[in-house]
Structure 1
Amino acid sequence: MEIAGFGVEAWLNEFEKTATTDISQSSIAALTMQAVTALDGQQGQKFYAQLNATRLDYGWIEGSPEFKQQVSGLYQHVPADNVLQTNGATGANHLAIYSLINPGDHVIALYPSYQQLYDIPKSLGATVDFWHIQEDHAWLPDIDELAQLIRPETKMILLNNAVNPTGSLLDEALLKQVVTLARSVGAYVLADEVYEPLDDTPFVSIADLYEKGIAVNSLSKTYSAPGVRIGWTATPSVEITEIFRKYRDYTMICGGGFNDQLAVLILQHRAEILARNREIVRRNLKIYTDWVAQEPRVTLIAPHGISVSCPRLDIPVDDEKFCRDLLAQTGTLLVPGSRFDLPGHVRLGYCTDTETLQRGLHHLSQFLRQYDAD
């Protein structure tokens, strides 16, 4: 089995801990343990008392009943028994693709987007066709292209909704068109939905639109808890869930009692966390778009309340050299667009804490001024 290097992960693994101003990340500013445990209403005392009484055995293999019920409540058509806990959304994507895709299968993947969604199927011997997002179409794909790509034997359509790194969103009308095409050939539709928008943009899960829809999500992005490493698959289909169960036994035993307990607490108090994060998105997006408006070397298709963005830079060097030099000279970290097959762009995570965002944008503007004399 051969697989390409994971561009964005390799970049962050090399550089994220050396940056002093990190505006590369895709999560909304991470919560502290103190902030999460205080959600119990007793400054963490109730949480830690429960934790101290917990045996360090495997715990609930698929996730505790409370976890599964909390996740089920996020959907209209997914019973709790059809929720399977995974090691983040990356674990959920891997489980779903590994479970359903065989050598020689035909799949269609939204591109560019999260690299897992096309390179894992390739590594398994599938034929992968790309359904392209288009910058001149607000980073959205054309449904007519998907109609041309789909075949009678197409096994799966893989989506990233909202899209990393562009922050664009496939709305309900477009998703329904995808479902119509998928249903016509009996294809699965997997949607990595970790970037659920936090503005007033309506969002609908693929699991609530299609009987063969597979929703992947986690606590990492919208819920500001990437360190918990808890994600899930959710589908209305009992048959698909049973397939996942078999393959899951080979990829993951459990999420761990501590992580499950923390995940339940976060989901129980999702309203408070999402209110906090909506305010971060609102405040930081205005700072960011105001900055773009006065920065002549940056253009942006604004994200829809999503924690990632993909500005285009007007620079005379390639984006990877630019990002390396920016980090070396200012301590400011971005992800080169080339790591997403989007040269000339960068991923800028504007949902870090506001002070870091402002400092990073200031450093970026100062660094860009060196090209003004060209």
Structure 2
Amino acid sequence: MRIDPFGLERWFAEYEHEADIMLAESGVRSLSADRFDIDPGELGYVIPTDGDPALRGTIGERYGRGTDEVVCTSGTQEANFLAFLSVLAGDSPPGLSSSTSGDAHAVVVTPTYQALHAVPDAFGDVTRVPLEPPTWELDPDAVAEAIRRETRLIVLNNPNNPTGRYHPLETVETLYDLAADNDAYLLCDEVYRLLADDPLPPVAGMGPHGLSTTSLSKSYGLAGLRFGWLAGDRAVVEAACQWKDYTTISPGIFGQHVAEQALEQSDTILEQNRELVARNHEITVAFLERHGLEWYDPVGVNGFVTVPDGFESGKEFCRTVLEAESVVLAPGEFFGHSDRFRIGFGLPTDELEEGLARIGQVLEG
């Protein structure tokens, strides 16, 4: 197995710890722990290790799924990883044609978070279907053309990271039908879905060929919990549970304890976070207009912005901002677009305003 280094995470590892402001963050500002009861009792394993049945049942209801069709994970990253292992690595779950890691194929819509194409590429073969600027619109016909006899998975991130494009329900349903017609699954990473004013139905609720992954990291502002889940076909979830025996074994007891409370407060938390995102979005739009920069108006907290004149690439611009003003941005090279950079605007408003002011110093200097 060979997998490419995770470029964006290595960039963060090198720079984010010493920088003053993190404007490449892709989630909503973190909630304080004092909002919750943080005493889970004895610090043993979560039993059963796929998550508390009552909690999995609560999560499953959101997808029209049963308790056994949800596995709790360490964030969305593990949920996606387990889904890829379950569908692409070795024998496929029941209900799909048998496959080996050498011939399993995935179709991945890009640009996207690197793990969504690098991990399946390590297990099998990947065909990327590119979204094109400036609208980043997804053409289902391009996905259809990319499908092969050995295709086991179509991968989508909606709303999209880094562009903020929210593909409409009709498009997602077409992708689901393509997956079903080809005896494959549609996996949708939906970490930003609940930040939309009118969220689309989750893919796992569309039928047996839909898989949804998400977590409390992005929309809820609880990244430190490392709590997420995979919801969908029971065969895939059962396979994921067996793979999970070799990864984290069970969710963290603290994460699950707070996750239960966060889901009980879901309406309040999400309303507050949407208000913050809407306010910060307006501030960011005004900044971009003031400096002649462009993006596709995003859903969520990520925008993919054109590199200013005078800079040859996203990396050059981001490194200049970092060195001059101690602000971290995400170069577009890590998403396959060197003429752009990703900005996150979900952080506290005062930090966002300070970070934008510092970028303005670079642009006006």
**Do they fold alike, i.e. is TM over 0.5?**
yes
* 1:248-273 superposed Cα distances (whole Å, 9 cap, x missing partner): 22222111222110111111111111
What corresponds to 1:121 in structure 2? 120
Paired letter, 1:62 = D
Give 1:214 shift.
0.9
Residue number among 325, 337, 340 corresponding to 2:320 in the alignment: 325
What corresponds to 1:153 in structure 2? 150
Whole-angstrom CA distance in 1 between matches of 2:313 and 2:286: 25
Is it true that 1:308 corresponds to 2:302 in the alignment?
yes
* 1:115-148 superposed Cα distances (whole Å, 9 cap, x missing partner): 1111111112x12101111113x22221121121
* 1:220-256 superposed Cα distances (whole Å, 9 cap, x missing partner): 0001000000110001x22222222222222221112
Whole-angstrom CA distance in 2 between matches of 1:197 and 1:293: 27
> When the two structures are aligned, how many residues end up with a matched partner?
351
Whole-angstrom CA distance in 2 between matches of 1:300 and 1:248: 39
What corresponds to 2:19 in structure 1? 19
Are residues 192 and 199 of structure 1, via their aligned partners in 2, closer, same or farther at CA, if it must alter by over 3 Å? closer
Whole-angstrom CA distance in 2 between matches of 1:198 and 1:247: 30
Whole-angstrom CA distance in 2 between matches of 1:9 and 1:337: 13
Is it true that 1:255 corresponds to 2:254 in the alignment?
no
Residue number among 189, 195, 212 corresponding to 1:192 in the alignment: 189
Is it true that 1:66 corresponds to 2:54 in the alignment?
yes
Residues 1-374 of structure 1: pairs in structure 2 closer than 5 A: 1-34=1-34, 36-37=35-36, 47-48=37-38, 50-51=39-40, 54-60=41-47, 61-75=49-63, 77-101=64-88, 102-124=101-123, 126-136=124-134, 138-235=135-232, 237-296=233-292, 298-304=293-299, 306-315=300-309, 316-370=311-365
- Given that 1:21 and 1:332 are in contact with CA atoms closer than 8 Å, whether structure 2 keeps it comes out as yes
SS at match of 2:195: coil
**Structure 1, 194-203 or 259-268: larger mean CA deviation:** 194-203
Whole-angstrom CA distance in 2 between matches of 1:242 and 1:345: 40
Runs of 4+ in 1 over 4 A off after TM superposition: none
Give 1:66 shift.
3.1
* 1:86-107 superposed Cα distances (whole Å, 9 cap, x missing partner): 1110001110101211221121
* 1:296-321 superposed Cα distances (whole Å, 9 cap, x missing partner): 2x1111102x0111111233322112
Give 1:197 shift.
4.5
Whole-angstrom CA distance in 1 between matches of 2:55 and 2:224: 17
Whole-angstrom CA distance in 1 between matches of 2:194 and 2:364: 33
SS at match of 2:126: strand
Whole-angstrom CA distance in 2 between matches of 1:95 and 1:169: 25
SS at match of 2:236: helix
Whole-angstrom CA distance in 2 between matches of 1:179 and 1:195: 19
The alignment's TM-score, normalised by the length of structure 1, stands at 0.90
Q: Could you list the runs of 5+ residues in structure 2 that have no partner in the other structure?
A: 89-100
SS at match of 2:149: coil
- Given that 1:104 and 1:127 are in contact with CA atoms closer than 8 Å, whether structure 2 keeps it comes out as yes
Q: Could you list the runs of 5+ residues in structure 1 that have no partner in the other structure?
A: 38-46
The alignment's TM-score, normalised by the length of structure 2, stands at 0.93
The share of aligned pairs that are identical, in percent, is: 30
